[in-house]
Each structure stands twice: as structure tokens, then as C-alpha cells.
Amino acid sequence: MALGLEASLGDSVLTTKLDAVVNWGRQYSLWPFVFGTACCAIEFMSAAASQLDISRWGAEVVRFSPRQADLLLVCGTISYKQAPILKRIYEQMPEPKWVVAMGACASSGGVYDNYCTVQGIDTIIPVDVYISGCPPRPEAVLDALMDIQDKIKGESVINDRHKDFKGILD
Amino acid sequence: MNTTALETIQAAFPGVPCDSTVESVVLTVQPDQLEQTLSKLKNDPALNYGLLLDVTVVDYLEYPDKQEARFAVVYVLRNWESNLLLHVRIPVADPEAGVPSASKFWGSAIWGEREAYDQYGIQFNGHPDLRRILNHWQFEGHPLRKDYPIEKGQICYETDSLEKEIKARLAVNKVDETVMEDINTEIMYLNLGPSHPATHGAIRILTALDGETILANVNEIGYLHRGFEKTAENRTYNQVIPLTDRLNYCSSLMNNIAYAKAVESFLGVEITERAKFMRVILGEFYRILDHLVCLAANLVDMGGLTNYWYLYNQKEASYDFISRLCGARLTSSFTRIGGMYRDFYEGWEAEMEAQLKDIEQGVNDSLALVLKNRIVHDRTQGVCVMPADKALSYGYTGPCLRASGVPFDLRKDNPYYYYETFDFTIPVGSKGDIYDRMMIRYEEMFQSISIIRQAMKQIPKGPVTVDDGQVALPAKDQVYSKIEGLANHFKLVFEGVQVPKGEWYDSYEAANGELGFYFVSDGSGQPYKCKVRPPCFYMMGGFHEMVEGEMIADAVINLGSINIIGGELDR
């Protein structure tokens, strides 16, 4: 039985929360920016190819301009030489934005514990979901995508995300 | 090693210390004699060392034997027509004083010496552009020196502008900016990369444009430098194999084979017959996969997305075969020193044959779209030409060198694993343009399929690792029931394969060209030095020669046609 406003307006109007309707839209139209540097990018290619088909989750519109994207997929090793570029691309993306660290290198430096490799991109930019594996299987990319969608569902449109983040380049 | 090569070199350079290792002659030269030695080696028709394969440095700081000087610069040269290898070794006591540059003889020395300078801090006098290449410009110190701690990272705050370098390149090409302004034309500077969809990874291509024509081009690499060589120095020989997967990650198993072959060549280990055939079959299979990805991406850049589905789907399907074989899709780690990780699984022949049929279908479908396509012809024929002499000077190998008309392929010229008994041909181009580079890859796939089919008919039964407890892990029943087996297992896992003291270079024809490894061993189970000779590093070093004078859109497809793989380029 309808209550309140819906009771008096009948079937012609639906009421909902702003968060719920905006998040519903955001969840199923993520536009990824693929920051592919290494082996993981090849596995992302597989996730995008016809066998697994990332478009089933509404995230097939791969953009190569950060200004048109809201999901940053960091696929591969980030070296210190690369770090300022990654940070700049992250900053060029409009809010709200989400970040996935794909693979061991992006998550923690992986096997490359040495003088040139950043030990996890979360020292530079905030990360929402980590994918394990070296490289992860393409199914894991889809799993991470669903994790991001779940995360979006629980967020509020009025809160600033990560406004207090401070990385090594800040 | 043929003794005549050693005698020829000794006769040509009387009084110069001369030695040999594996397949190479080693010539030790003092810095003041270097220039005349290199000049003679390159220009004397009796010697004819036309290909400078690699430049590297050895730091003997922690080496157990006392050496003449702390550093030694090593030039690895090849006479490709007579299959002769030569190391020119120059002891360097004072890195600041350095050695004369070889860049006036070979184009490949420009990038090779830059890397040696970056990693070891050796000065090359007379080098046109001696600056860092793999590490960032704010980096201090030289990471591959033995006294540089491996974990000491240095933060880079901003990217190099490269303004000075592009202006210098404009001057070399005799473009005068004031003249350009007089005729009301402005030079536009355009960066492709470091993060750009067409760079297939992270490379920065800086161009100076007049309209759409490239007047000058400077490239920056090193964005994926992840310290392979320093990391390898801290691992046992077998522990390095997973790292080699990540060099050229499109054909990981070929790197595994090249690495294991290089170590075995010095150890004198003769792997089993079945292992040899396995390496041939899998090596050729990965050559096909590498070409599939290269062509798929190249054609996408040209606007032919359908080719991507035709070619990439076959690669994707091949992953199913590979993951059944080694458990991983991309990073195979399938070889060991002394053989293979394990044998094929039961019923692999039928699956391989089915896979080959599918690949033939996919490649033929793609060829049907490409072969008579006017757009493809117009965009690729006569575009970004690399003449044979320049290709050799810049150290090109593999499909890109053969596209320029040089019929050099290690499988034919320095055969290993019975390649001399297989019936196959080496496709050779006539012009050295993008079209040749693409078509050679198409043809090589058919040749590789034919080699695999021949090898599948001949592959013998038997073990896949050598029966030598000093090199390969003993069978599990030996480990659990015999003390020798247990001791061998323990020692191999903890200390690694013991390689006697020495220095050597060995190479393998990978999908992209000659993949070589330069090792220095101090007699322990870990390599003292392990330098990779990556084919695409030297191809990128000659990139500006191809694109200057061409259109900006051609630079994009040219990059695809030389198949740059970041992991191998920057290591």
C-alpha cells in the first residue's frame, strides 16, 4: 500500500532517494580509462574481447581521454618515472572517479622490489579495489568491476571522496 | 666455437689479447686503441662485423678474482654473413675519463651507450646525446653499480621536457625556426604518449610538425623500467625464469627458452631430445601468438577493427591450450635449466592440431581483408622505409631486418635444436616499408605452423629434463628415498645451479628478433650479471630515421609494425 505523496498521486509518480537513482545510473555506465603499461594490459584486452565481453557490465566504452572517464584501471607496473604521469591523469579525471589497481605490481610492486618500481600505486593515488594475480585472469577484472558497482551502490552523492588523501608526490 | 674465427682475429690484431667463450671470440682492447679496432672490425671486408648487437658494462667491484680495472665495457658484435660473434672488451679504471664512443660506426651504439652510461656511469666521449635513458632525469647515481643498494628508490616529480633534444634534432635535420617563421609557418610540437592509446604501453614520441609532416622526432623510453637486471643478480638462475616471462609478455615462453638455452650453453648441458622438440614446438607456437597480437593491434591502429577480432580471438583460444599446459595464461615459466618444467599433457597433439587449424582460419580471414585492400596498400606501401644499411647500423634483427631485405635469421644462420633439419623458408622483404613488415609476419606464421607440424611428427618419447643432479631437480622418488637425491634437491633449491666462473653471450631468434643474454658468473648459484639484449630496444633506437619526413598518422602505424613491447624495451 502506498503511503504519503505516492498515495495521493497514484501510479503516475515514483519516489526514491537521490542517492539510489544516481548510483543506479553510475553503476551501469562506467567509462574506463585503461592505464595499461605492462602484461596486465594484455589481460585487460582479453577481458574486453568477445569471449568475456566487458560490455555485459556496461563498462565497454573505453576512453583514452581522462576527461571522459570515471574508472581508472591501472594495468601494470608503475615505475617512479611513470608516477607523475599517473597522478596527472588521475587529477584530470572528473569527480566522481574510482580506481582499480590491477595485478601485483600496481597493488604492491609485485616481484619488483627494487630501485625503480613504485611499491603500490596507493602511495600516489587513492585506490578502491585491488586485483591480485600476476597477471590476474580477465575474469578477475570483471569481478573487480562488480566490486566497484557494489561500492557505488553504497555511496552518497554529496560526500567528497578521498579529499584527505596525501601521497608521496603531494 | 670454430677455431678459424679466433685465428682470423688474432692475425688481424697481432699482439692484442684474444680469447674465446662459448661461440664468441673475446678481444681485450685498451681505450686508446678502441677507435681503430672498431673501425677495422666494421670496415675491413675480411672481418665485416656489420652488426653491433649490444653494449654493456661489467662492474667487478665484488667479483672474487682481481681484475685489471673496476669496470669493463663490452661491445658485442656480429658478422651476420659468416655467423661470427665477437666481444670487444675495454677495461675502464676511471668511469669519468671513459672510452671513445662507437656511435660514429654504428647507430645502435647511440642508445646502447646511453644505457651503459645511465646504469653504470661510464662516459662515452664523442657521443652525440649522452643522457639517461631508462631511469628518470632526476635520478642520482647509477643503479647497476654493485655499490648501489637495490631497494633505494628515487622519486621523480615531473617529466623531462625534452625541449633541448627536439631542438637539437631539428638542427640536425637543418630546419631553421627563424626561416620557418619568415614564411609564416610555425612548428608545432606534439607528444604522442607517454599515455596514449597508440603507443601500446608507455613510450613518449615527441614530434616537431610542419602541418602533418614530421620534421624531427625524439623518443623517450624507460617508463616501464623495472630493474630486471638488478633483480636477476639477487636470484638463483632458476628463479630468474619467472622474470623473463615479463620481458616480452606476448611471447613469454620464447624468453624462457632463450634464457635457459643461454645458461645451458655455458654449462655445456645437452638437453634431452624430447625437450629440444618441445622447445621448437612451443617456441614456434609463441612466435605465432606474438605475431597475432602485433598484427591485430597494428590493424586496429589503421582502423581495421574486424582484424582484431579475427586475430585476437585465436590468441584467446590458444590461451586455453597454454593454461592446460602450464597453468597460466600469459606468464608460462615453463622451462628450467636443463630441460622443461614438465611434459605435454595427454592428448595435446589433437588439441594443438585443432588450434593450428583455427589459427590458419583466422589468419586467412584477416588476410582476405588486408591483402587486396587498397586502403591498407596506400597507407603502408612505401611508408616509413628503413633501408638495409641503416637497419643493420641500428642493430635491427628479426622480422624488421628481414623486411629490409637482409636474410638473417638465427634459425637458419646459427641453427639450434635441429632447426637445420626442418623444411621452412625465411620470408624476406624488398623495400623495408610498413607493408613488408606486416606481410613478413603473416608469412612467418604459416612457416611456423609448418615447423610445428613437422616437429609433432618427429617428437621422440623420453624424459624432458637431463638426468644430472647438479643441474636439474631429481625425481620425487629419489628425493624421498635416497640421501643423494635429497641433498641435490636441497642444494639446487637453496643455492641454485652452480655455474663456473666466466662471461658469455648466447642468443635465440625470438618473435621480435635476436634475444640475447650476456652473463657474468662468479661461480655461485646466482648470476653476477645478467644483461638482456632486447630486440625492440634497438628498433626503437632507429625509429626517428623511419618517421622523419612522413606524416604523423604514419608514425602511429609504424610503431605498431615494429612491435614495441614495453617489458622488453625497458626491462
B375/B265 same-domain check = yes
B454/B465 same-domain check = yes
The counts of H helices and E strands in chain A are 6, 4
Q: Give a yes or no: residue B8 inside a domain.
A: yes
Q: Give a yes or no: residue A166 inside a domain.
A: no
Q: Please give the C-alpha separations between residue B427 and each of B53, B396, B407, B409, in angstroms, as whole numbers.
A: 22, 16, 8, 10
Residues of B in contact with A79 (CB under 8 A): 222-226, 570
Size of interface A-B (CB pairs under 8 A): 125
Tell me the β-bridge partners of B308.
none
Q: How far is B318 from chain A (nearest CA, A)?
A: 12
pLDDT-flagged residues of chain A (< 50): none
Q: How far is A170 from chain B (nearest CA, A)?
A: 9
B56/B170 same-domain check = no
Q: Give a yes or no: residue B138 inside a domain.
A: no
B181/B110 same-domain check = no
Instruction: Provide block-wise average pLDDT over 10 residues at a time, chain B (571 residues).
Output: 73 79 85 86 84 90 86 90 87 87 89 91 88 87 89 84 84 77 79 79 86 88 89 90 88 91 89 91 92 88 84 84 87 88 88 91 91 90 90 91 90 88 91 91 92 91 86 84 87 88 90 91 90 91 89 89 86 85
B199/B252 same-domain check = no
Q: Give a yes or no: residue B213 inside a domain.
A: yes
Tell me the β-bridge partners of A9.
none
A39–B246 C-beta distance less than 8 A: yes
B507/B558 same-domain check = no
Question: Nearest CA to B415 among B269, B321, B279, B294?
Answer: B279
Return d(Cα B268, Cα B263) in angstroms, integer. 9
Whether the CB-CB separation of B37 and B21 falls below 8 Å is answered with: no
Return d(Cα B228, Cα B237) in angstroms, integer. 13
Q: What is the ipTM of this complex?
A: 0.84
Q: Give a yes or no: residue A66 inside a domain.
A: yes
Q: Which of A77, A81, A168 is the closest to B136 by Cβ?
A: A81
Instruction: Give residue B451's pLDDT.
Output: 93
Whether the CB-CB separation of B110 and B103 falls below 8 Å is answered with: yes
Q: How far is A39 from chain B (nearest CA, A)?
A: 6
B201–A85 C-beta distance less than 8 A: no
Q: What is the CATH number of the domain that holds A91?
A: 3.40.50.12280
Q: Give a yes or no: residue B153 inside a domain.
A: no
Q: Give a yes or no: residue B255 inside a domain.
A: yes
Those residues whose C-beta lies under 8 Å from the C-beta of residue B33, and which sit 6 or more positions away, are B16
Q: Give a yes or no: residue B327 inside a domain.
A: yes
Residues of A in contact with B316 (CB under 8 A): 46, 49, 51
How deeply is A31 buried, as exposed, middle or buried, from its count of CB atoms within 10 A (0-12, 13-18, 19+)?
Answer: middle
Tell me the β-bridge partners of B27.
B18, B88
Number of domains in chain B: 3
B243–A38 C-beta distance less than 8 A: no
Those residues whose C-beta lies under 8 Å from the C-beta of residue B241, and which sit 6 or more positions away, are B256, B259, B260, B333, B335, B336
Q: Give a yes or no: residue A7 inside a domain.
A: no
Residue of A35, A39, A67 best to disrupt the B interface, most CBs of B under 10 A: A39
Closest chain B CA to residue A134 = B331
DSSP string for residues in A40-106: HHHHHHHHHSTTT-GGGGT----BSSGGG-SEEEEES--BTTTHHHHHHHHHHSPSS-EEEEEHHHH
Residue of A55, A116, A118, A124 best to disrupt the B interface, most CBs of B under 10 A: A116
Q: Give a yes or no: residue A11 inside a domain.
A: no
> At which residue does the C-alpha cell 636439474 appear?
B472
Q: Which of A36, A81, A135 is the closest to B135 by Cβ?
A: A81
Residue numbers of the domain that contains B485: 228-533
Residues of B in contact with A135 (CB under 8 A): 329-331
Return d(Cα B478, Cα B484) in angstroms, integer. 8
Whether the CB-CB separation of B89 and B17 falls below 8 Å is answered with: no
A113–B151 C-beta distance less than 8 A: yes
B297/B335 same-domain check = yes
Question: Nearest CA to B327 among B388, B227, B242, B402?
Answer: B242
Residues of B in contact with A77 (CB under 8 A): 224, 226
Specify the pTM. 0.89
Q: Please give the C-alpha separations between residue B530 and each of B43, B172, B364, B427, in angstroms, as whole numbers.
A: 30, 36, 40, 32
Return d(Cα B390, Cα B462) in angstroms, integer. 46
Q: What is the CATH number of the domain that holds B451?
A: 1.10.645.10
Q: What is the CATH number of the domain that holds B546?
A: 3.30.390
Residues of B in contact with A121 (CB under 8 A): none
A79–B226 C-beta distance less than 8 A: yes
Q: Give a yes or no: residue B452 inside a domain.
A: yes
Q: Give a yes or no: residue A45 inside a domain.
A: yes
B214/B243 same-domain check = no
A42–B249 C-beta distance less than 8 A: yes
Q: Give a yes or no: residue A37 inside a domain.
A: yes
Closest chain A CA to residue B155 = A80
Return d(Cα A76, Cα A81) in angstroms, integer. 14
Residue numbers of the domain that contains A99: 30-152
B202/B110 same-domain check = no
B415/B502 same-domain check = yes
Q: Give a yes or no: residue A135 inside a domain.
A: yes
B504/B397 same-domain check = yes
Residues of A in contact with B151 (CB under 8 A): 113-115
Instruction: Give residue B414's pLDDT.
Output: 86
B509/B568 same-domain check = no
Q: Give a yes or no: residue A148 inside a domain.
A: yes
B159–A84 C-beta distance less than 8 A: yes
Number of domains in chain A: 1
Q: What is the CATH number of the domain that holds B59?
A: 3.30.460.80
